[in-house]
């Protein structure tokens, strides 16, 4: 069957699609990968239900959509539970398979994920698609919210749109960690991913729509004083994450959600840290297919 996508919420026909018709565990044909790209250009977020995946199957699916990103692991590559470094362990489980202590570094990372952000906006190239797969979910909490930066831009007053043109924000990998008091990084780690600058307003390559590009990794606005720029970024974030622009995904085991980091923000929500929660994420780089290169998966310490 071909890919089928319907609006998850009919009141928002261009944001979040419920996808079906294909088996994610099977090899992804090139025409199906193109169909996913086309659907992502419209919806920015796709939800697949009831498709449990092994690590190998999830990684193969992700690689069919583009070269993979290591993201924050370039700063600190911890001893991993998962078989591949290209899979991010979004869990509260330690290397022994037990619920991690609240002081464990992974828990700090999970808490940082509760800030509105775009994956790997702190690097060049940044991320294109993130694919998060649910393995074990807690009884309450732990939803993931997505905000549509295209709709947020569309809703801005004309004066605000004019003022934002030509502005750039600096993004830095450790900025959000510092906000949470996580400062224990050596000089090499602090310099592993130097800050990058991105326009505050960008044009989405796939759809041609204008959108905001902000989030928790944005430190300041280059063309303004630090104080003025940070106030502007906070105001934009408050505007862009209004309920009218946000979809909240309540996870079920076997869900896989794909989102476009170029034109969405996302955040995890609070849950019981003593209840097991296991999700795995693969992320592709924002590189055109013509520029993509083939690389072997990097085995981690399972």
Q: What is the pLDDT of residue 290?
A: 33
Summarised one tens digit per residue, pLDDT across range 9-63 is 888 899 999 999 999 999 999 999 999 999 999 999 999 999 999 999 999 999 9
Other Cβ atoms within 10 Å of 31 Cβ, number: 9
Distance CA 14, CA 95 (A): 40
Q: Tell me whether residue 70 is exposed, middle or buried, using C-beta atoms within 10 angstroms of its C-beta: 0 to 12, 13 to 18, 19 or more.
A: middle
pLDDT beneath 70, residues of the chain: 77-79, 288-302
Q: What is the pLDDT of residue 77?
A: 60
pTM of the model: 0.93
How is the chain split into domains, by residue range? 4-288
**Which class in CATH covers the domain with range 4-288?**
alpha beta
Neighbouring residues of 38: CB distance < 8 A, sequence distance ≥ 6: none
- The pair of structure tokens assigned to 106 is 């992974």
Q: What is the pLDDT of residue 26?
A: 97
Q: What is the pLDDT of residue 17?
A: 98
Q: What is the 3-state secondary structure (H, E, C) of 238-267?
A: HHHCCHHHEEEECCCCCCEEEEECCCEEEE
Q: What is the pLDDT of residue 294?
A: 35
Neighbouring residues of 252: CB distance < 8 A, sequence distance ≥ 6: 49, 50, 134, 137
**Helix/strand number for the chain, H first, E second:** 8, 15
If phi > 0 it is left, if psi is from -120 to 50 it is alpha, else beta; for residue 24 that is alpha
Q: What is the pLDDT of residue 302?
A: 33
59, 223, 292 from 63: Cα distances, Å: 6, 37, 11
Closest CA to 179 of 260, 233, 240: 233
Q: What share of the chain is helix, strand, coil (3-state, %, to 5)?
A: 25, 25, 50
Distance CA 184, CA 283 (A): 26
């Amino acid at each position: 069957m071909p890919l089928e996508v319907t609006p998850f919420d009919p009141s928002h026909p261009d944001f979040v699609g419920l996808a079906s018709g294909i088996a994610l565990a099977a090899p992804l044909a090139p025409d199906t990968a193109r169909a996913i790209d086309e659907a992502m250009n419209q919806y920015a977020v796709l939800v697949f239900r009831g498709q449990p995946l092994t690590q190998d199957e999830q990684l193969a699916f992700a690689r069919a959509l583009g070269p993979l990103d290591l993201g924050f692991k370039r700063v600190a590559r911890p001893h991993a539970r998962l078989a591949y470094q290209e899979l991010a362990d979004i869990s509260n489980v330690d290397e022994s398979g037990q619920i991690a202590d609240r002081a464990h570094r992974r828990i700090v990372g999970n808490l940082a994920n509760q800030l509105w952000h775009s994956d790997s906006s702190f690097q060049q190239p940044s991320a294109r698609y993130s694919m998060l797969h649910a393995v074990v979910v807690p009884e309450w909490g732990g939803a993931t919210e997505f905000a549509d930066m295209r709709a947020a831009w569309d809703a801005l007053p004309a004066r605000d749109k004019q003022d934002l043109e030509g502005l750039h924000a600096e993004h830095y990998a450790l900025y959000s960690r510092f906000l949470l008091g996580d400062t224990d990084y050596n000089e090499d780690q602090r310099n592993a991913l130097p800050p990058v600058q991105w326009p505050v307003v960008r044009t989405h390559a796939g759809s041609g729509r204008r959108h905001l590009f902000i989030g928790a990794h944005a430190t300041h606005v280059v063309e303004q004083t630090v104080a003025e720029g940070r106030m502007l970024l906070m105001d934009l974030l408050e505007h862009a994450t209004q309920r009218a622009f946000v979809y909240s995904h309540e996870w079920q085991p076997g869900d896989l959600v794909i989102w476009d980091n170029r034109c969405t923000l996302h955040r995890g929500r609070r849950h019981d840290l003593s209840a097991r929660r296991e999700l795995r994420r693969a992320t592709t780089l924002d590189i055109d297919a013509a520029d993509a290169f083939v690389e072997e998966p990097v085995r981690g310490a399972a």
